[in-house]
Amino acid sequence: MTLTPLTMLLLTQTSANVDVRGTVTELSTNANGSVRMLVIGQRTAAVPLDRAYVTVPRGTAVDRSGGVGTVTDLRNGQTVEIRFKGPILESYPPQATAGRVRIVEEAPYATGLLKLLGGSLNEQTARVSVMDPKDGRPLAVATISRRTTVYRLANGRRNPVSPGVLRNGMTVSLTYDGPTTRSMPPQGRALTIVIQTPRK
């Protein structure tokens, strides 16, 4: 597909709040601190493009569930919504610069076996670790807070459950809420914990 000048004009004048919505792939950081990524999704009545190469300048605000972030919060696998600013390069996929970015769904940081490190699950003060199932190496450490949502995966759907159901040895996926330490493993607040172990 090649965009015609007329299509370009319509795209630059669209009143839609979102130009492209989809999954981040091929993310790379440029020398000037900007990020370039391919966003792949579906065209709908409200979203005019099914994919686009998007450059996100370093100072662009990135809206996320934990507040306003920066381009350093963008990761492969996230679902994002992008509103362009300026011209759109006539190619397929189109190439454009982001004026607004919203992370709709965070990509999990780590998937592995859960280990409870202390604190209270019911009071949402617990610390947990996600361990590599092959060698037991800790992949991530997180604190469960009142902002944390725990889900159980069943038939492809995520169903909210109480943090109190978490048990050692469960297979889980962890997503962080906001920044993490630069330690190995990283440490931060948990945004979501998705239990993948079937209910017994």
Write the DSSP symbol of residue 107.
Answer: P
Quote the domain boundaries for residue 126: 110-195
Q: What is the pLDDT along the chain (200 residues), one digit of tens a residue?
A: 444 443 544 444 444 589 999 888 888 999 999 999 999 988 888 899 999 999 999 999 899 866 788 898 888 878 899 999 999 998 889 999 999 999 987 778 899 999 999 998 877 789 999 999 999 999 999 999 888 889 898 877 778 899 999 999 999 999 887 778 889 999 998 988 999 977 76
Beta strand spans in 30-156 (E): 35-41, 51-56, 62-64, 67-69, 79-89, 95-105, 110-118, 127-131, 138-143, 149-154
81/46 Cα distance (integer angstroms): 12
Q: State whether 61 and 125 are in the same domain.
A: no
Within a domain: 63: yes
Q: Are 38 and 53 in contact (CB under 8 A)?
A: yes
Q: State whether 183 and 159 are in the same domain.
A: yes
Q: State whether 100 and 10 are in the same domain.
A: yes
20/40 Cα distance (integer angstroms): 8
Within a domain: 32: yes
51/46 Cα distance (integer angstroms): 14
Query: Going by C-beta distance under 8 Å and a sequence separation of 6 or more, which residues neighbour residue 184?
Result: none
Q: State whether 99 and 114 are in the same domain.
A: no
Domain boundary among 105, 132, 158: 105
Q: Which pLDDT score is estimated for 166? A: 95
Q: State whether 28 and 94 are in the same domain.
A: yes
Q: Are 162 and 123 in contact (CB under 8 A)?
A: no
Write the DSSP symbol of residue 167.
Answer: -
Q: Are 139 and 175 in contact (CB under 8 A)?
A: no
Give the number of other CB atoms < 10 A from CB of residue 55: 15
Q: Is 154 left (phi over 0), alpha (psi -120 to 50) or beta?
A: beta
Q: State whether 75 and 165 are in the same domain.
A: no
**Domain CATH number, residue 50:** 2.40.50.140
Give the DSSP H/E element, type plus range, for residue 29: strand 20-29
Residue recorded with tokens 């999704």: 41
Q: Which pLDDT score is estimated for 66? A: 61
3-state secondary structure of 85: strand
Our count of domains for the chain comes to 2
3-state secondary structure of 189: strand
Domain boundary among 54, 70, 105: 105
